[in-house]
Amino acid sequence: MSSADADGDEGQALLHNRQEAVQIDLPPSTHERSERDKAQKPLMLAYAMAAWAWRSWEFAVALLLIQLSSSSLRLVSVYGLADNFVRVAFGGSVGGYVGRRCIASGTRNFLLLQNACIAVSAACAAALLGFKEELGHSGWVRWILLASTIGCGATSSLGSLGIQIAIEKRAVQAMLRDMPSALAEANSGFRAIDLTCQLAAPIVIGLLMTYTSSLIATILLLGYTMLVWIPEVHFFQRAVHFSPPLRAISHHEGSQVDKGPCDSTATSSSSTSSWRSTANSVRAGFSAVLHRLAATAIFPMLAPRLGLRGTGLLGTYYQLAWLTLGLSPLVIVTILQPDKTPHVLGVQLNGQNLQRLLIAGLWTFDLAVTQLMQDLIAPEDLGLVSGVAGSLDSLFFSMSFIAALFVADPGLFFYLMVASWCLTACAASLYTIFYVRTSPIHEQ
């Protein structure tokens, strides 16, 4: 093939990815869907096992740190800052590593990193719980175990970030890049798995700690993370075996990027008075499932009709609209009657209930942006870009904690709500600029 032909093919591919015209996907045959499911189902199982390990420990470690610090939130705050710090500092490196390494060995390494760090963190926490009285007389040993619990627990988030980039973004992109509707369904499915684990794990952990003990729950989590790595790798290898695109990029990356053969073996928080209350966990979990999982069901239906760009635009303005509706009564009361602000709790709670509806818009927007990145970014660059995006997400999440530390007076919470609205409006404006600049009319 000549250089001109190669450039022409590349230009046509990029043009195809940039266009948002109405696409009609031919329905896959029964054989094609069966072959696709053979790879996609084990990939989802591997991802679900990994997500359950991380989400379970993410919630459990907060409860354990509260218990170990005499019902203080100080250790939990340190853990939250450490977790976000490692993501901000090393998120880009994680994404670059996923892009450089063979996807098979890279995924196994991140699965091992996550599980090993959680196991060490859980073992240290178990030692602190089981030998609490003995360690009370050895301050330096106790602090070493606490530092190991926090440090290893925070480092495990790098493993989870690598797993998300390698499986949820790169592997899914490779498998379904030429099937937009199937890609939308897969993205929603993987996001639904993560949300389900994020919401169900606190309920299970709460039940274990309530009806057994914190030590037993920690030991069970320790055993799970030590044993689950083998089936995680097994199901991932099955996905690679049944997916020709995954096999292709594995061999290609191993030979072209690593210059060698691809190795084939390789923060939730809790209040101090209600961490044992499973009723609150169930209620919060049901509310979040209702609104967050709604997006994973809506997105595959909206994307073929509105296009990815249009679906993202709808999601971001839907979010902004509900946030505005929830905040407006409080703003009006604050402006007209400043002295009445401490007494508008009912209005504020009503606003919070309305704001729950914006979650569907937020996750619809997130799914649209995820697939836009898969369509518009070259496969070899997707890992790095996703890692940087994860770092920015953690950076802004950390800023919310820092803002809450400086604006700790509940009477000033109004200003945090206004800042949240301003940032959401800024995001909507930036996406609108992207939407206009990438529209077919603008490009002409």
pLDDT at 290 over 60: no
Residues 146-181: tens digit of each pLDDT: 999 999 999 998 899 889 888 888 888 888 877 878
For residue 156, the model assigns a pLDDT of: 92
Enter the pTM of the model. 0.65
For residue 432, the model assigns a pLDDT of: 93
Distance CA 83, CA 241 (A): 34
Residues 368-400: tens digit of each pLDDT: 888 888 888 887 787 778 778 877 877 777 777
For residue 279, the model assigns a pLDDT of: 45
Residue range 20-24: mean pLDDT, rounded: 40
317 against 410, higher pLDDT: 317
Sorted by where each starts, the structural domains of the chain and their CATH numbers stand as 39-262+275-443 (1.20.1250.20)
For residue 230, the model assigns a pLDDT of: 92
Label residue 429 by pLDDT band (50, 70, 90).
Answer: very high
pLDDT at 343 over 50: no
